[in-house]
């Protein structure tokens, strides 16, 4: 277990797949640089690689310079796989073979954001607890039924770890620094980014980042969390208000003051955003999309979708995938 006190430098290999999030990569690499600076010596050393040694383009289009091609059979402390968009296209058979071999020669193996999909496809998550980005949790759980899929920010299960995205990756790296170099060093590293590490690893990834709204108007924040938990079977605004200990009229006022929308309108927009993600990022049948987002039928989904986005979901999917589905 490498999440334990140690004075020895830790050697990591970061395998970056095309369309990885640049922010997730930065949240993984830079805390190690900061830890070396704070410690005054090299406590982490890392290499950034691709499968073929070519610079992969991240999701924002910027290419990442790499140190070379992955050498799967070389001994290393950690092999970390980073991926984000179109992971099923990028997790090719050669990638999966290399990751399986690399995992056998590493003390720990990790998958960040959609990197967890790569570990799952490589057969490394069977019998393990794991997470991935919250947008993909349902599909992830269906694809890997032998994994214990959790909505946590990050999960460490023996020699395997996974994290949900950029900020969970930063939380994970701070946890690594805290375990190896101590709380004081971890706090100093967090301070470099003016970041308060206030979330527990097991805290569920939110659909909506509430930021200061949680402190400014906790009743609205709590109502939004209830809405998130009931996208497939929407609750009446009156029921949401009762859960928050306020009247429906009072909740209306609080929402308009806080987010400039009524609770009903906000709830519908939240469901439509979830529907849009499923339309654009998956090939789920439209009936399933409607069911998962609380619409009584495909036609009800289509009408609401068109009003919000200017075209029906079938047309949006056709444009996204380049063909009719």
**Residue 197: per-residue pLDDT:** 67
Q: Of 163, 192, 221, which residue is a domain's last?
A: 192
Instruction: Please check whether residues 56 and 131 belong to one and the same domain.
Output: yes
Q: Of 192, 226, 257, which residue is a domain's last?
A: 192
Tell me if 4 is assigned to some domain.
no
Residue 103's CATH number = 3.40.50.880
Instruction: Please check whether residues 152 and 235 belong to one and the same domain.
Output: no
Number of domain units in the chain: 2
Domain hosting 120: range is: 10-192
pTM for the full model?
Answer: 0.77
Pairing of strands 148-149, 129-130: parallel
Tell me if 25 is assigned to some domain.
yes
Pairing of strands 160-163, 154-157: antiparallel
Instruction: Please check whether residues 28 and 159 belong to one and the same domain.
Output: yes
Instruction: Please check whether residues 164 and 24 belong to one and the same domain.
Output: yes
For the chain (325 residues), the mean pLDDT of every run of 10, in chain order, is 94 98 97 95 97 96 97 97 96 98 98 98 97 90 94 95 95 95 91 79 72 81 92 95 94 92 93 90 90 95 94 91 54
Instruction: Please check whether residues 132 and 241 belong to one and the same domain.
Output: no
Tell me if 88 is assigned to some domain.
yes
Measured CA distances, 115 to 59, 120, 259, 286, 298 (Å): 14, 9, 34, 27, 33
319 CB burial (10 A radius; 0-12, 13-18, 19+): exposed
The two tokens of residue 118 are: 């790569």
Tell me if 2 is assigned to some domain.
no
Residue 310's CATH number = 1.10.10.60
Instruction: Please check whether residues 246 and 182 belong to one and the same domain.
Output: no
d(CA 44, CA 115): 21
Instruction: Please check whether residues 272 and 124 belong to one and the same domain.
Output: no
**Residue 199: per-residue pLDDT:** 66
d(CA 47, CA 322): 36
Instruction: Please check whether residues 152 and 239 belong to one and the same domain.
Output: no
d(CA 111, CA 119): 6
Tell me if 3 is assigned to some domain.
no
Tell me if 206 is assigned to some domain.
no
Instruction: Please check whether residues 255 and 182 belong to one and the same domain.
Output: no
Instruction: Please check whether residues 109 and 160 belong to one and the same domain.
Output: yes
d(CA 144, CA 199): 27
Instruction: Please check whether residues 45 and 186 belong to one and the same domain.
Output: yes
Instruction: Please check whether residues 96 and 145 belong to one and the same domain.
Output: yes
Phi first, then psi, for residue 106 (nearest 5°) are: -120, 150
Tell me if 201 is assigned to some domain.
no
57 CB burial (10 A radius; 0-12, 13-18, 19+): middle
**Residue 161: per-residue pLDDT:** 98
Tell me if 282 is assigned to some domain.
yes
């Amino acid at each position: 277990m490498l999440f334990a006190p140690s004075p020895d430098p830790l050697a990591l290999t970061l395998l970056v797949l095309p369309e990885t999030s640049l922010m997730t990569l930065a949240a993984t690499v830079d805390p190690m640089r900061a830890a070396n600076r704070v410690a005054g010596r090299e406590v982490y050393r890392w290499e950034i690689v691709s499968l073929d040694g070519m610079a992969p383009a991240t999701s924002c289009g910027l290419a990442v310079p790499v140190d070379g091609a992955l050498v799967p059979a070389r001994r290393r402390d950690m092999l970390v796989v980073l991926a984000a968009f179109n992971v099923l296209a990028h997790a090719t058979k050669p990638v999966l073979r290399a990751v399986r071999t690399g995992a056998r020669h590493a003390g720990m193996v990790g998958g960040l954001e959609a990197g967890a999909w790569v570990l799952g496809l490589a057969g490394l998550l069977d019998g393990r607890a794991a997470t991935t980005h919250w947008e993909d949790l349902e599909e992830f759980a269906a694809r890997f039924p032998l994994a214990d899929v959790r909505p946590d920010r990050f999960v460490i299960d023996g020699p395997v770890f996974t994290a949900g995205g950029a900020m969970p990756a930063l939380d994970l790296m701070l946890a690594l620094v805290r375990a190896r170099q101590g709380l004081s060093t971890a706090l100093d590293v967090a301070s470099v980014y003016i970041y308060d590490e206030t979330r527990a690893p097991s805290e569920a990834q939110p659909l909506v980042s509430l930021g200061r709204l949680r402190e400014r108007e906790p009743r609205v924040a709590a109502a939004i969390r209830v809405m998130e938990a009931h996208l497939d079977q929407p609750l009446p605004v009156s029921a949401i208000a009762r859960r928050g200990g306020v009247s429906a009229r009072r909740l209306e006022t609080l929402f308009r003051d806080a987010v400039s929308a009524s609770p009903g309108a906000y709830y519908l927009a939240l469901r439509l955003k979830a529907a849009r993600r499923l339309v654009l990022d998956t090939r789920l049948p439209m009936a399933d999309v409607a069911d998962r987002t609380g619409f009584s039928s495909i036609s009800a989904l289509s009408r609401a979708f068109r009003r919000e986005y200017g075209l029906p979901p079938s047309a949006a999917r056709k444009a996204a995938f380049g063909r009719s589905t």
